[in-house]
Structure 1
C-alpha cells in the first residue's frame, strides 16, 4: 500500500490523460458522483510505463472498493494505459474530500450531502441538522442510523414528507 505523502501533486501529460479517464468512473453505490468528486481517487501517476491510480476507500470494509478499483483499472486500460491500482489507507478518507460539485450532485440526486467537517465533534457524536435535498427544509428526522449503504443514514422531511438518505460525515 502506498503512503499518500509520497504522492506528487503535478502530473505529466500522460498522467493527466490517465487521471481524466479514471476520474470519470462512477461510484457503484452512489452513481450520481464519480470517484474524483467523492475524493476516493487520490492521484494518478505514470511510473515505469504504468498508470498508477491511488485510491482511498471510504472505509476499509467498504463492499464497493473492489468494484471501484476494477472499474478504474478497466477505464485506464480502455484509455490505452497499462494500469496499476494502489490502495491508500492513510490518511483515511473523509467526507471533507467530497468536492463542491460532488456535494451538489448528491443533493440533486436526492441525497443530503454531509453537513459538518469531519473534525467536528457535533458531526460525530451529536445530532446533526440535515436539510431535505428536495425542499430544503431543516425540519427533518432521522429514521435509521443506516440507510441504503453503511455510509448513509435514512431521514424523512416532516415538511414535504419525503424520505431521503444523508451521506454521514466521516
Structure 2
C-alpha cells in the first residue's frame, strides 16, 4: 500500500476500529487510552496512556495500533507513552460503557460497585473478589440470576 497522510479524523476513525485486547467489544478509543493524534512534520504521533503503568496488554495495544495504521497506509509513525495524568475510568466513552454492559461486564460506577447485574438488571449483588479476570476488574455475583460477572473497577 502506498504511503498516505490521513487526516486526524481519519486516524481517529482507524483507531476507533482497534479493539482492546482484553475486552474486544470496546475499542481503544472507547477505552480512552488514545490521548492524542497529530503530525510532527511527516510523522504521525499517537499518544497512548495505558490503563495502569504495569498493564500487561500495553505491548499488544501498541502493536495493534501500529498494525492498523500501517494497514491504512501510514509509513512514518511514532507511538508515545504518556503516564501523566494517569488513565481513569472517567475516560471511558458513554458508548464504551454501554458496550461493556451489553457484553456482560458491569461498567464502573462512582460509588465503587455495580448498580445492577449486566445480565438481568437486578440490584441484588454481592462481591466475590476484588480481583477478576484482569487487574482492572473485580468479580461480582447476582443474587437473583446467580450469574457471576466482572465489574470494571473505578481507577
Per the TM superposition, whether the score is higher than 0.5 is yes
1:15 is aligned to: 8
CA deviation string 1:66-118 (max 9, x = no partner): 100111011111111122100111100000000100000000000000011xx
Write the mapping of 1:109-128 to structure 2, written as runs, cut at 5 A: 109-116=103-110, 123=112, 128=113
Other structure's SS at 1:76 match: helix
1:43 is aligned to: 36
Separation in 1 of the partners of 2:6 and 2:133?
Answer: 39
Separation in 2 of the partners of 1:19 and 1:84?
Answer: 15
Q: Which runs of 5+ in 1 are unaligned?
A: 1-11, 117-121
Separation in 2 of the partners of 1:71 and 1:50?
Answer: 18
Task: Choose which of 129, 141, 150 in structure 2 pairs with 1:144.
Answer: 129
Tell me if the contact between 1:108 and 1:133 (Cα under 8 Å) persists in the aligned partners.
Answer: yes
Q: Which has the higher helix share?
A: 1
Q: Which runs of 5+ in 2 are unaligned?
A: none
C-alpha displacement of 1:27: 0.3
The number of aligned residues is 150
Superposition TM-score, scaled by structure 2 size: 0.92
C-alpha displacement of 1:131: 1.3
CA RMSD between the two structures:
1.4
C-alpha displacement of 1:130: 3.5
1:7 is aligned to: none
Write the mapping of 1:66-85 to structure 2, written as runs, cut at 5 A: 66-81=59-74, 82-85=76-79
2:57 is aligned to: 64
* 105-114 or 72-81, which deviates more: 72-81
Q: Is residue 2:90 matched to residue 1:105? A: no
C-alpha displacement of 1:63: 0.1
Tell me if the contact between 2:11 and 2:37 (Cα under 8 Å) persists in the aligned partners.
Answer: yes
Tell me if the contact between 1:19 and 1:43 (Cα under 8 Å) persists in the aligned partners.
Answer: no
C-alpha displacement of 1:137: 1.0
2:149 is aligned to: 164
